């Protein structure tokens, strides 16, 4: 079973947009392999596209954070919030249908209120100059712990409804 078996691609795309509109976080739905299932892309800050433009940034900052946090969410079967190596929020909600893991919803790109951009790690990974990191990260919006919790609950409720509707329809 795949994510598009329980909801059409357009509806997953709409969920991603709804999460962005609600939170200001970049949001994507990922399959079991960690691959985005839609082409929805919005940059929520200026730093992330600069990191992802470098293969090392994509591989060692973005992908690693997603794999680790998504792995925890899958194992725990619950929402997990953490940070990528750049210090930005990464929130992942796993998607299970009848006990089968189908993928996850991820949201990222804002700075937790009690955190700072990790310019050392960015510089070390992609050799970006500290002044450039400082400039690109100067206007990254912050998100409170309460807002992170609320967003996690919102996404979980949306996924629960999608799964419940599918199970009623197919059962």
Distances (CA, A) of 10 to 29, 32, 129, 142, 151: 12, 19, 40, 30, 21
Q: Which of 111, 118, 116, 123 is nearest to 148 (CA)?
A: 111
- 40 and 28 in contact (C-beta within 8 Å)? yes
What is the pLDDT at residue 83?
97
- Tens digits of residue pLDDT in 108-167: 999 999 999 999 999 999 999 999 999 999 999 999 999 999 999 999 999 999 999 999
pLDDT(36) > 90: yes
Q: Which string of DSSP letters, residue by residue, matches 92-122?
A: EEEEEETTEEEEEEEEE-SEETT----HHHH
**Region 30-55 average pLDDT:** 96
What are the structural domains of the chain? 3-170 (3.30.450)
- What pLDDT is attached to residue 153? 98
| Contact predicate 165/171, CB 8 Å | no
pLDDT at 170: 84
Integer Cα distance of 56 and 113 in angstroms: 27
Structure tokens at 49: 């596209």
What are the tokens at 72? 């925890």
Q: What is the mean pLDDT of the chain?
A: 97
CB atoms near residue 9 (< 10 Å)? 13
Kindly tell me the sign of the dihedral angle through the C-alpha atoms of 59, 106, 85, 74: negative
């Amino acid at each position: 079973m795949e994510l598009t078996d329980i909801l059409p691609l357009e509806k997953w795309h709409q969920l991603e947009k709804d999460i962005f509109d609600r939170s200001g976080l970049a949001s994507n739905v990922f399959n079991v392999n960690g691959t985005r299932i839609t082409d929805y892309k919005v940059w929520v800050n200026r730093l992330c596209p600069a990191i992802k433009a470098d293969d090392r940034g994509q591989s060692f900052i973005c992908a690693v954070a997603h794999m680790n946090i998504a792995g925890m969410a899958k194992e725990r079967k619950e929402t997990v919030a953490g940070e990528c190596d750049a210090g930005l929020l990464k929130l992942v909600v796993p998607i299970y249908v009848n006990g089968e893991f189908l993928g996850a919803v991820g949201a990222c790109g804002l700075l937790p209120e009690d955190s700072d951009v990790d310019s050392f790690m960015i510089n070390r990974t992609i050799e970006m100059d500290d002044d450039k990191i400082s400039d690109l990260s100067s206007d990254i919006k912050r998100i409170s712990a309460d807002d992170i919790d609320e967003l996690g609950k919102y996404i979980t409720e949306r996924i629960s409804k999608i799964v419940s509707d599918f199970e009623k329809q197919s059962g």
